[in-house]
Amino acid sequence: MIPINLPQIGEEEVEAVVEVLKSGKLTHGLGEGPRVKKFEKAFAKFAEAKHAVAVNTGTAALHSAVVGTGLNKDFEVILPSFTFVATAEAVILAGGKPVFVDIDPKTYNISSTEIEKAITKRTEAIMPVDLYGLPADMKCIREIADQNDLLIIEDAAQAHGAIYNRKPVGKMADATCWSFYASKNITTGEGGMVTTDSNQIAKKIRLFRTHGEKAKYASRMFGHNYRMSEIQAAIGCVQLGKLSGFLTKRRENVRRLMDLLQKTKRLELPIEPPDRRHSWYLFTVRLERATEQERNRVVRELREKGIGSTIYYSNPIHLMPYYRDVLGTSELPETEKASKQVFSLPVHPGVTEEQVTHIANSLLSIL
């Protein structure tokens, strides 16, 4: 099976981990070991941010960012439902209410016009997600946020290497959250990062990630153990150095796949607006005018041919039992339509030219 994603781990990562193991310093009590600091410094440079704070998952990054931006009691956060569940979880974990809005059917990202309709007196933040690795419509979202005195917490968990207006994705948010889960463009196994230009937000997240402590046993605020280990950070430093090569390979695979798939009219291929560069974490197509059953059949047949096609996300968050019980129903027609018609194809750096041809030909013959 050609998996939808595959960690690209080489000897360099193995050596970096062995070095940490031999050093005996596997982690640091306040989350500030030398490798974590090195990874944070390198990541801040990469993201062109003043601060980068490492944590142990992307979910922890999102939760820390919502807490770190200091939202008031009973706050609402506007976000898409067409995303991984962690985006909404972070709001609930921090004591807020997620308010789901619909997506733009072309980009699958949160719709700016729908955001404006969902703003209430309690809204304190917008959480755009750079879905599949395509930056959200940040200029528009920034304008809405500024006009309504809202913060932006961007979920860039899938967008390492994406560009918006010639700048690294995340530059227009107050805090940006990243994941280094094993499937992501770069990985530390599990891991996360928050980048921000705000001294205050960074300071609060640094406290929050380690029990609210600046010194041991003197908690200044409520916190967690969200510390990144030295092992994770050592892998992260190596992976970050390889990111640009990984992106080039993903882009090559995408170009080839796009060319081959032009032959059919049944698929809506992913777009890359002129002001944005995709990270190509996922290459997601839409089976036009299809029912959910038809889409599922195509995915099943691809898998029978050894192609790990996967659906992100077949059940949007607002339809999940817990979220429906707690938040009630939401009307999100474009989200629900997309969830029934999209599927993703492997384009990770391990996919060879022959495999790309096999993926495209298999899909064309199924269609």
Is residue 100 involved in binding ligand PLP (CB under 6 A)? no
Shortest Å, Cβ 229 to ligand PLP: 14
Q: What is the number of the residue whose Cβ is closest to ligand PLP?
A: 58
Sign of the dihedral through C-alpha 259, 260, 262, 268: negative
Shortest Å, Cβ 311 to ligand PLP: 14
Stretch that binds ligand PLP, among 55-63, 94-102, 105-113, 255-263 (CB under 6 A): 55-63
Q: Which is nearer to ligand PLP, 20 or 129 (CB)?
A: 129
Q: Which is nearer to ligand PLP, 181 or 280 (CB)?
A: 181
Query: What order do you get walking across the sheet with 283-287 strand by strand?
Result: 267-268, 283-287, 342-345
Stretch that binds ligand PLP, among 72-80, 98-106, 155-163, 337-345 (CB under 6 A): 155-163
C-alpha closest to that of 2 among 255, 287, 286, 303: 303
Shortest Å, Cβ 326 to ligand PLP: 19
Q: Judged by CB under 6 A, which of 8, 81, 179, 196 binds ligand PLP?
A: 179
Tokens of 160: 């390492």
Q: Judged by CB under 6 A, which of 64, 83, 112, 309 binds ligand PLP?
A: 83
Q: Judged by CB under 6 A, which of 81, 123, 158, 310 binds ligand PLP?
A: 158
Helix, strand or coil, per DSSP, at residue 308: coil
- Contact by Cβ (8 Å): 168, 46: yes
**Alpha-carbon distance 327 to 225, whole Å?**
28
Is residue 27 involved in binding ligand PLP (CB under 6 A)? no
Question: DSSP letter at 332?
Answer: -
Is residue 155 involved in binding ligand PLP (CB under 6 A)? yes
Tokens of 61: 């990054």
C-alpha closest to that of 237 among 40, 29, 31, 10: 40
Is residue 58 involved in binding ligand PLP (CB under 6 A)? yes
Is residue 230 involved in binding ligand PLP (CB under 6 A)? no
Stretch that binds ligand PLP, among 22-30, 56-64, 142-150, 208-216 (CB under 6 A): 56-64
C-alpha closest to that of 129 among 107, 157, 105: 157
Q: Judged by CB under 6 A, which of 87, 210, 284, 335 binds ligand PLP?
A: 87
In which residue are the tokens 């969200």 written? 226
**Alpha-carbon distance 215 to 189, whole Å?**
28
Shortest Å, Cβ 223 to ligand PLP: 18
- Contact by Cβ (8 Å): 186, 147: no
Q: Which is nearer to ligand PLP, 75 or 84 (CB)?
A: 84
C-alpha closest to that of 85 among 324, 293, 291: 324
Name the residues that contact ligand PLP, by CB under 6 A.
57-59, 83-84, 86-87, 129, 155, 157-158, 179, 181, 192
